[in-house]
Structure 1
Amino acid sequence: MTELKNIIDTSNSILPTLSSRAMFWRPRYLEESEWLEHIPFYFWLTEALEPANILETEMSSASSYFAFCQAVDKLNLDTLCHATLSNTCNHQQKINDYNHEHYQEFSLISEENSKQLINDYEDRSIDLLLLKYNDSILFDKALMDKWQKKLSQKSVVLVHGSQKKELKPICRKLKDTYPTFEFTHGNGLLLVCFGQEQTARVQSLCNRGSNDSSNRVLHDVYRRLGSACYEGWLSQTSKARQKQLNDKIIQQQEKLLSVDSEKTALLAQLKEAEKQRIHIEENLSSLADEKTSFEQQLSSVKNEAHRSQQKIETLSSNIEQLKQQDSKNRAEKKALEDSVSTRFDELAELTKLLHQSDQDKIALEKDQQKLKADLSQTLQSAKQDKASLESTYQETKAELSQAHKAIEQLKTNKNKKPEDSTKIDGEKDLVITKLQENNKLLEEDQAAAARIIEDLKKENQKLERSLNERFDELATLTKILEEKSQISTPLKSEDASIKLNNKQSVSFSFNRLKPISRLSKKQKKDYEFLKESEYFSAKWYLSEYPEVGRSEKEALMHFILVGAGKGYSPSFRFNTKNYIEDYPDVKESGINPLIHYIKFGKSEGRSISNAKN
Structure 2
Amino acid sequence: MNSKPHSSTSELVFGELQALQIAPKRLTKTNSWHGHIPFAFWLVKKLEPSIFVELGIHKSDSYSAFCQAVQLFSLDTACYGVAAWKEDDQAGTDNEVIYQKYSNYHDEQYASFSRLVRSTFDNALNYFADGSVDLLHIDGQHDYEEVKHNFEVWLPKLSSQAVVLFHDINIREKEFGVWKLFHELSQQYPGCTFSFIHSDGLGVLIIGDKVPDSLQRLCHLKDEDTTYVRLAFSTFGKFVEAQATESMLRSQLNEIDSANRQMIADRRKTEIESYKYEMELAAALKQQTEELQRQINALREENQEIEEVHRGNEMLMQSLSMRITKPLRDLNDLVRRLR
Regarding TM over 0.5, the answer is yes
C-alpha separation in 2, matches of 1:61 and 1:102: 15
Tell me which residue corresponds to 2:326: none
C-alpha separation in 2, matches of 1:193 and 1:171: 12
C-alpha separation in 1, matches of 2:258 and 2:150: 50
User: Equivalences for 1:536-547 in 2 at 5 Å?
Assistant: none
**Per-residue deviation at 1:67?**
0.9
Tell me which residue corresponds to 1:144: 151
The letter for the 1-side match of 2:63 is: Y
C-alpha separation in 2, matches of 1:142 and 1:134: 10
C-alpha separation in 2, matches of 1:143 and 1:251: 49
C-alpha separation in 2, matches of 1:140 and 1:248: 44
Tell me which residue corresponds to 2:207: 194
Assess, with a 3 A threshold, how the Cα gap between structure 1 residues 138 and 100 changes in structure 2: closer, same or farther. farther
Cα deviations by residue, 1:125-184 (Å, 9 ceiling, x for unpaired): 111100116257962655533311111111111000001123222121011112111110
**Per-residue deviation at 1:244?**
2.0
Tell me which residue corresponds to 2:333: none
Does residue 108 in structure 1 map to residue 103 in structure 2? no
Q: Share of identical aligned residues, percent? A: 25
Cα deviations by residue, 1:343-395 (Å, 9 ceiling, x for unpaired): xxxxxxxxxxxxxxxxxxxxxxxxxxxxxxxxxxxxxxxxxxxxxxxxxxxxx
Kept in 2, the 8 Å contact 1:80–1:106? The answer is: yes
Correspondent of 2:275 among 253, 264, 270: 264
The letter for the 1-side match of 2:10 is: L
Cα deviations by residue, 1:219-244 (Å, 9 ceiling, x for unpaired): 22211211221221222122222222
**Per-residue deviation at 1:189?**
0.4
SS of the residue 1:108 aligns to: strand
Cα deviations by residue, 1:315-364 (Å, 9 ceiling, x for unpaired): xxxxxxxxxxxxxxxxxxxxxxxxxxxxxxxxxxxxxxxxxxxxxxxxxx
Tell me which residue corresponds to 2:241: 230
C-alpha separation in 2, matches of 1:16 and 1:58: 33
Does residue 16 in structure 1 map to residue 11 in structure 2? yes
C-alpha separation in 1, matches of 2:149 and 2:259: 54
Kept in 2, the 8 Å contact 1:127–1:152? The answer is: yes
Does residue 251 in structure 1 map to residue 262 in structure 2? yes
Query: Which consecutive residues of structure 2, in runs of 5 or more, have no partner in the other structure?
Result: 88-94, 293-339
**Per-residue deviation at 1:202?**
0.2
Tell me which residue corresponds to 2:219: 206
SS of the residue 1:70 aligns to: helix
C-alpha separation in 2, matches of 1:271 and 1:69: 65
SS of the residue 1:156 aligns to: strand
SS of the residue 2:220 aligns to: helix
Tell me which residue corresponds to 2:194: 181
Assess, with a 3 A threshold, how the Cα gap between structure 1 residues 185 and 232 changes in structure 2: closer, same or farther. same
More strand by share: 2
Kept in 2, the 8 Å contact 1:133–1:161? The answer is: no
Which one has a bigger Cα radius of gyration? 1
Does residue 87 in structure 1 map to residue 82 in structure 2? no
Tell me which residue corresponds to 2:71: 73
Kept in 1, the 8 Å contact 2:55–2:82? The answer is: yes
Does residue 242 in structure 1 map to residue 253 in structure 2? yes
Correspondent of 2:53 among 52, 55, 67: 55
Cα deviations by residue, 1:427-456 (Å, 9 ceiling, x for unpaired): xxxxxxxxxxxxxxxxxxxxxxxxxxxxxx
C-alpha separation in 2, matches of 1:216 and 1:180: 15
User: Equivalences for 1:574-613 in 2 at 5 Å?
Assistant: none
User: Equivalences for 1:489-528 in 2 at 5 Å?
Assistant: none
Kept in 1, the 8 Å contact 2:57–2:140? The answer is: no
C-alpha separation in 2, matches of 1:164 and 1:183: 12
Q: Which has the higher contact order (CA 8 A, sep 6+)?
A: 2
The count of aligned residue pairs is 266
Assess, with a 3 A threshold, how the Cα gap between structure 1 residues 14 and 271 changes in structure 2: closer, same or farther. same
C-alpha separation in 1, matches of 2:233 and 2:28: 19
RMSD of equivalent CA atoms: 2.6
**Per-residue deviation at 1:266?**
5.3
The letter for the 1-side match of 2:162 is: S
SS of the residue 1:218 aligns to: helix
C-alpha separation in 2, matches of 1:43 and 1:188: 17
C-alpha separation in 1, matches of 2:73 and 2:139: 25
Kept in 1, the 8 Å contact 2:129–2:157? The answer is: yes
